[in-house]
Structure 1
Amino acid sequence: MGRQAGFSAGSGAGMLVSEGDPEAKYTELETIGKGGFGTVCMAVETATGEEVAIKKISLLQESSNELCVNEIQVMRHHKNGNLVNYVDSYLVDEELWLVMEYMDGGSLHDVIRETRMAEGEIAAVSRECLQGLDFLHSKQVIHRDIKSHNILLGLDGSVKLADFGLAAQLTAERSKRRSAVGTTYWMAPEIFTSKPYGPKVDIWSFGIVGMEMVEGAPPYLMKTSRTVRQLISSGGTPKLQNPRQQSAWLRDFLRCCLETDEDRRWSAQELLQHPFVTSAKPTSSLTPLIVAAQQFMADRRY
């Protein structure tokens, strides 16, 4: 019980984890992801047959404890149609099990890797992600790790932000952050130059996701992380390889996201009014794309 008490102590909201045995409540079906933190599996709630995803995080590393507390607090306190929904959390031996809704369409990263996205589809994903970011930012939360891997999809075309381990809650006393966290290729210039930063770091990161959707990968992917830091902190806005192949609206949308001056970079709320975003197709238009990506991946496996 020592670890459990210690784990909940920082929450400020009583126990962060539920009592009970999740192994009795859920039947695991398959592993759907692995990372430095642990594994993610798909399971069903035995009583209802409802599908869930269970993220199992090892608590043996001190750093992961903080990430777990962060992720649970953000997900528990901030529910929105464009954020992956929190269900419950449990301690099982030396692991935290984070139970959340299962997104049956995989990640945006899978779609980008397997297919080519049309502008209407890029705009639909952009609108949904910006709605999620606008909600988080209105609650003074910065995500700090926006990338295609952390944007999950449903086969119905739903688009949701996930993975809140690096999120930061701003307060009146602490309205900016300084710590250099995130994933290098998606990080904003003000993080690399150690300036205090706010929610607009997420907008830069989403601009890089926009470039991923257009080109299949973030800029500078083949370069070392040190070179990327130098290029982003001093080299200005990353450029599309073939800008003339894209509409003026899309190019302008990316420019508004990837403005190196944080003050001039548009907010999520402003970007939701951008003509590129307001021209988006309905999310149901994403279904054929998601199905095609899953089919390509399945074909490769067999």
Structure 2
Amino acid sequence: MNIVKYIDSFLYENDLWVVTEYMEGGSLTDVAAANMMTEGQIAAVSRETAQGLQHLHKHGVIHRNLKGINVLVSLTGDIKLTDFGFCSQISDPAHATRTTMIGTPCWMAPEVITHKEYGPKVDIWSLGIMAIEMIESEPPYSNQDPLKALHLIATNGTPTISNPENLSSTFRDYLAKTLEVDVEKRPDATQLLQHPFFSKAEPLRTLVPLIKAAREIAQNKRLIWPRSNPS
């Protein structure tokens, strides 16, 4: 079901600690920042994430903070969602709505920013932004102040990417569907999983070299960081 497994939780010195399975490959953000991903690899990650969202939504849960850093990978290419601190539990998944403005600015859907009623499809918008994150190594408006980013999302609607002509027509259509401003036209997770873009998905094992490359870069940074020149 592509959700990080919960193991246990306990209080330690008045802090709540949550124990989950260990995803040794790190986050998708690390992988996307360190590598150029193919359409097939992006499709594979997006499909696995969409399946995780489908599971959450069927059980009445909206993630509300989907982004690359909250998608974890294993050294075998498994993809799992984590960080459910912003989740909303809804009693009727078909009709429930929320109005709370919550999430991370660059990944937030326009209806969240404008305080309209929203439901699980806000996660589909974030999934589309995450695809851009995999294309360009960062989400749209990441170089803007958070308040400016919120304004741009609400004003501009569907974001653009630098070189859309480099993408297949199927991928461009997938982005258009997930980043549809009109919520009624935006697909839910089950509908989205029927999109032909996912037929381009490469086997998850093709992600392994990318994950290992990202880990190596991260390890090298940790080795270099403590070494400072003596003053």
Residue equivalent to 1:119: 39
Match of 1:243 among 161, 164, 188: 164
Aligned letter for 1:200? K
Q: Do residues 161 (structure 1) and 81 (structure 2) align?
A: yes
Taking structure 1 as the reference length, the TM-score comes to 0.71
- The answer to which structure, 1 or 2, has the higher relative contact order (CA under 8 A, 6+ apart) is 2
C-alpha displacement of 1:279: 2.0
1:139 and 1:163 map into 2 onto residues whose CA distance is: 17
Aligned letter for 1:135? H
What percent identity do the matched residue pairs reach?
Answer: 48
C-alpha displacement of 1:113: 1.2
Q: Do residues 95 (structure 1) and 37 (structure 2) align?
A: no
Match of 2:61 among 136, 141, 150: 141
The structure in which a higher percent of residues are strand is: 1
Aligned letter for 2:30? D
Give structure 2 stretches of 5+ with no counterpart: 224-231
Q: Which moved more, 1:83-92 or 1:291-300?
A: 291-300
Q: Do residues 207 (structure 1) and 132 (structure 2) align?
A: no
Q: How does 1:208-223 map to 2 (within 5 A)?
A: 208-223=129-144
C-alpha displacement of 1:227: 1.6
Q: How does 1:1-302 map to 2 (within 5 A)?
A: 81-172=1-92, 175-302=96-223
C-alpha displacement of 1:208: 0.5
2:215 and 2:80 map into 1 onto residues whose CA distance is: 18
Aligned letter for 2:53? L
2:190 and 2:149 map into 1 onto residues whose CA distance is: 29
C-alpha displacement of 1:103: 0.2
Contact 2:106 2:140 in 1 (8 A): yes
2:36 and 2:215 map into 1 onto residues whose CA distance is: 13
Aligned letter for 1:105? G
1:180 and 1:217 map into 2 onto residues whose CA distance is: 22
Residue equivalent to 1:32: none
C-alpha displacement of 1:299: 2.7
2:133 and 2:45 map into 1 onto residues whose CA distance is: 12
Q: How many residues align?
A: 222
What's the Cα RMSD here? 1.3
Describe the SS at the equivalent of 1:171. coil
Point out the structure with max Rg over C-alpha.
Answer: 1
Give structure 1 stretches of 5+ with no counterpart: 1-80
Residue equivalent to 2:226: none
Contact 2:60 2:90 in 1 (8 A): yes
Q: Which moved more, 1:166-175 or 1:268-277?
A: 166-175
Contact 2:39 2:200 in 1 (8 A): no
C-alpha displacement of 1:277: 1.0
Aligned letter for 1:99? V
Moved >6 Å (runs of 4+)? none
1:293 and 1:168 map into 2 onto residues whose CA distance is: 32
C-alpha displacement of 1:165: 0.6
Residue equivalent to 1:46: none
C-alpha displacement of 1:93: 2.1
Contact 1:114 1:297 in 2 (8 A): no
2:186 and 2:217 map into 1 onto residues whose CA distance is: 37
